Amino acid sequence: MNDKQEASLYILVKNQIIEAIQSGKFQVGDKLPTEMELCEEYNVSRTTVRIALQQLVMEGRINKVQGKGTFVTKPKIKQSLTTAWKGFASQLMEQGYEPKTEIIDLKVVPADFTLAQHLKIEENDPINQLVRVRYANDEPLQYEISYIPWKIAPGLINDEEDCKSSLFQLLKNKYNVIIHKTVEALEPVLATEEASSYIGIPVGSPIFSLETVTYNDKLIPIEYSNALFRGDLSKFTIERMYTEL
């Protein structure tokens, strides 16, 4: 069998396993058949099955547990880094999840050097610090700290209930802040004790860190945030548009 045939077969096996999961043949938490059993079921080599399973592990559809076998995992929650007008709640509801936001802290603090640099303000200027944990079906998914200059939203400390929904919508409706663009940096990191305590994963687990600076229509930075997403539940999508090359 040549490499091209091997590649075609592993894609076929992979897709058939996905279909079995989506049809309900295998539920979340179910143990998949062994590699040898899958070889017999699909009439392919062990190498083909192994590659198909590796791809499914990389996509977060299954999880291999040493000495126990391979198990179906929860599907990862997709969040778009492209569709700015769809907020956290909208994206989750589209995938059948019930979103919830818990406010951990909301207070005014002095800007340190780093925050002053991000927000183009003076050091020690007052800023609103908003700490939130966001949930999907009561399972913690994201831990986020946002900083908004006090002069941008001077009454934000009294808006705790409204901060449970869209922060951008609140800034627009109450403070006449028009969001123009965001600049975001996404990288994989390991969970600290603080992140672990809020999103319910062991210290050192892989997570995503999304650092964002938000600008208004005058290109003034109006928010700096750092959001930490569970690596076992999160999947990010990016759409690129091309006009002419």
Task: Render pLDDT for 154-195 as a digit per residue (tens, 0 to 9).
Answer: 999 999 999 998 899 999 999 999 999 999 999 999 999 999
CATH 3.40.1410.10 in the chain, residue ranges: 77-237
Task: Give CA 30 to chain center in angstroms.
Answer: 25
What is d(CA 21, CA 28) in angstroms, rounded to the nearest whole number?
8
pLDDT digits 0-9 by tens, 58-80:
777 888 888 889 999 877 777 77
Q: How far is CA 61 from CA 56, 193, 200, 210, 233, in A?
A: 5, 27, 20, 23, 10
Return the pLDDT at 133: 96
DSSP codes, 192-232: -HHHHHHHT--TT-EEEEEEEEEEETTS-EEEEEEEEEETT
| CATH code, residues 77-237 | 3.40.1410.10
CATH 1.10.10.10 in the chain, residue ranges: 3-72
pLDDT digits 0-9 by tens, 72-113:
987 777 777 765 556 778 888 888 888 899 999 999 999 999
Contacts of 192 (CB under 8 A, 6+ apart): 203
Q: How far is CA 71 from CA 28, 67, 163, in A?
A: 8, 12, 38
CB 54 within 8 A of CB 64: no
Q: Topology of 3-72 in CATH?
A: Arc Repressor Mutant, subunit A (1.10.10)
